[in-house]
Chains A and B, each alone.
Chain A
Amino acid sequence: MVLIEPLIAVVVFLITYILIVDERINRAVAAMAGAAVLVFLGIIPWESLLDHIDFGTIFLLMGMMIIVNVASNSGLFEYLAIITAKAAKGSPIRVLILFALVTAVTSAFLDNVTTVLLMTPMLLYIAKVMDVNPIPLLLTEILASNVGGMATLIGDPPNIMIASATGLSFNEFLFVMGPIALVDLAVVIMIFYFFYGRKMKVDSAGKAAIRKTIDALDERAAIQDIVLFKKSIVALAFVIMLFFVHSNIGEILHTFLPFVDPTMTLEPAEVALIGAALILFWSRKAPEVIFEKVEWTALFFFGGLFVLVGGLVETGVISDLAMMMTSSLTDTHEAMFVIAWFSAIASAIVDNIPLTAALIPLIEDIGMNSSTIDTYPLWWALSLGACLGGNGTAIAASANVVVLGIAEREGIKISFFDFLKIGMFVLFVTVAIGLGILYLMF
């Protein structure tokens, strides 16, 4: 029985993983079914079920989904897309660079899927107006979204999960992963400029004609509700500001509200839920319409996944793996190397969310078993690998799937191997640079 339980937990986890990757069954359904099997067989007892679910991650995602939904209802993303297009002044290469920058920054603070979903139609429209190949523009957008998402605690689900499990603050993410994201983004843009720059050149007459057509677009027409638009910007700015100070909010408040405990902190999930409550209250949008748009399938997917990983923890599979890794790893740098490259390559092939969920308890166990390995840099190595691994293949991240799905619907063919060639190249270059920077930092 002692040996059967870990075996069942591993088999259920792997079968669920295959179902998630193949997606013939909705990934949320697959994760919940896998979790149900573990609960039914008693591998996860009911009493400890909720202990395995990371509500910090789930509530943070939920809060951000509500905020982004209200903001996107105002036309904020479309407005951003039009002013970015106008700022390019008719130059295709400027469109590539500016859209990469805007996508990266937006993805760092808001959901990647919503960002690329709302930016891609605009990018395709501009490519049509400029009569240039849309593929480099779309690929840069995907890669920029994944690189940008790495920069902050709220940028990508693996970072949210890492922060929730470890208590790392928003500013720690920004100061460690932000510079890496910045360098990697510059490298991605340079790679695309090198490969596609010459093919995207347009003469000055062409530029003037493109500019006229783009300038004819009215960004104000994109704003569906000007009051909501202004409120969304203020609420978003407030939430982002709150993220910056969540780990020392008590100290700040105590200076002018002496009754506030200076040691008080706010969890990132609390910030997101406070922001969601604020924007719902202030916008006066019908809550049932907004709640309906919360991606419940994604939240149930996370819930199921945490139970599946809980099965591996409960049966000792994770601690056995950690013991094996601890005995073969000699120091922190070696462990960082293994975690970063393993998570990057594995994330390129399989979904990075279950992978991160499984690696978090593994790193925690490594920390408990080894006196020579410092786990703090390992979290950054995991964030680096799990986020940038999303650039490796067409199915490695949600942003890739969304952009490629839209391209397919608009008759633009980007094959698996077309993506693989550039994606894997970018993955190896960016992870190597990121790891180098992490070595310098730690």
Chain B
Amino acid sequence: MEYFKSLINRKFKDVVGSRYKDVLKDYREFLLTEEEIVLCDFKRILIPLDIFVSEVPEDFYDLLTAFDETEINLVYITDSDVISIINDVLGEDAGREYQAKKENYGRGLLEKISGELESRGITVNRRLYAGRKWDDVEAMSENYDLVAVSKSFGGGRGDENEISPVAQRLVQQMNVSSVLY
């Protein structure tokens, strides 16, 4: 048996050389590790949205379908501080008009994303309100297993920064698991 083992090793070395190491290296780049194979049990997922989020990538929808019996809460937030400033500077009518326009966009976005999720058999709850994006999402996150934040959430994303400052801060400060998409 020992002779057989060393014979196979000798022949393997001669036939394959160092190619096997390269193949393993390539595979490691896209195969999940043993720890990653174990699926996390996320039952409640929060997806905060705002005016800066325009779409959700297909891959992200596919990821969400990997979790069993998940309930997703889509929350569209209009910045209440901005509404207050408009109320103070331009008057309440202008503030109401601003809020109505933003919420109109929000309804459309909620409709689009919940439609995509429901077509994949996922339960979705929707909510739309005016509030403070940073503080509210951070506070709400404690009731969820996972928070999925768009890289554009909160605005300020540009050529210099791939992730908006609000999204970056949320991911760093929340105590629950998070996904950036």
Contact = CB atoms under 8 A, between A and B. Distances in A.
Interface of A: 22-24, 26-28, 75, 78, 113, 117-118, 121-122, 125, 128-129, 209, 212-213, 215-218, 221-222, 224, 297, 394-395, 398, 401-402, 404-406, 408-409, 415-416
Interface in B4-52: 4-5, 7-12, 14-16, 19-20, 23-24, 26-27, 29-32, 34, 37, 39
Given A117-B16, A409-B20, A22 B30 contact: no
B20 A24 contact: no
Nearest to A223: B30
B1 interface: yes
B66 A395 contact: no
Given A113-B15, A398-B15, A405-B9, A213 B27 contact: no
Contacts of A118: 23
Contact of B12 (A217, A297, A402): A402
Contacts of A78: 26-27, 30
A404 B6 CA distance: 12
Contacts of B4: 394, 415-416
Interface in B134-178: none
B66 to A, nearest CB: 5
Nearest to B27: A121
A213 B30 contact: no
Contacts of B24: 121
B131 to A, nearest CB: 34
B32 A408 contact: no
B30 A221 contact: yes
Contact of B23 (A26, A121, A297, A404): A121
Contacts of B19: 117
> Can you list the 8 inter-chain pairs with the closest CB atoms, starting with the nearest?
A405-B12, A221-B30, A401-B11, A416-B4, A23-B10, A121-B27, A398-B15, A23-B11
Contacts of B15: 113, 398, 401-402, 405
Given A121-B31, A395-B11, 17 more contacts: A23-B10, A78-B30, A117-B23, A121-B24, A122-B31, A218-B30, A221-B29, A224-B26, A401-B8, A402-B15, A402-B16, A404-B8, A405-B8, A405-B16, A408-B9, A415-B1, A416-B4
Nearest to B11: A401
Interface residues of B, number: 29
A28 B62 CA distance: 51
A79 B65 CA distance: 23
Contacts of A128: 34, 37
Contacts of A297: 14
A399 to B, nearest CB: 9
B38 to A, nearest CB: 9
Contact of A213 (B7, B11, B20, B37): B37
B1 A416 contact: yes
Contacts of A404: 8, 12
29 contacts: A23-B11, A26-B14, A78-B27, A113-B16, A117-B19, A117-B20, A121-B31, A122-B31, A129-B37, A209-B39, A212-B66, A213-B32, A213-B37, A216-B32, A216-B66, A217-B30, A221-B30, A395-B7, A395-B11, A401-B15, A402-B16, A404-B8, A405-B11, A405-B15, A405-B20, A406-B12, A408-B9, A415-B4, A416-B4
A331 to B, nearest CB: 39
A217 B31 contact: yes
A406 B11 CA distance: 12
A122 B27 contact: yes
Contacts of B37: 128-129, 213
B26 to A, nearest CB: 6
Contacts of A401: 8, 11-12, 15
A350 to B, nearest CB: 13
Given A224-B26, A415-B4, A212 B39 contact: yes
A178 B26 CA distance: 33
Nearest to A297: B14
Contacts of B29: 221
A113 B15 CA distance: 8
A217 B11 CA distance: 33
A400 B24 CA distance: 19
A394 B1 CA distance: 12
Interface string B76-96: 000000000000000000000
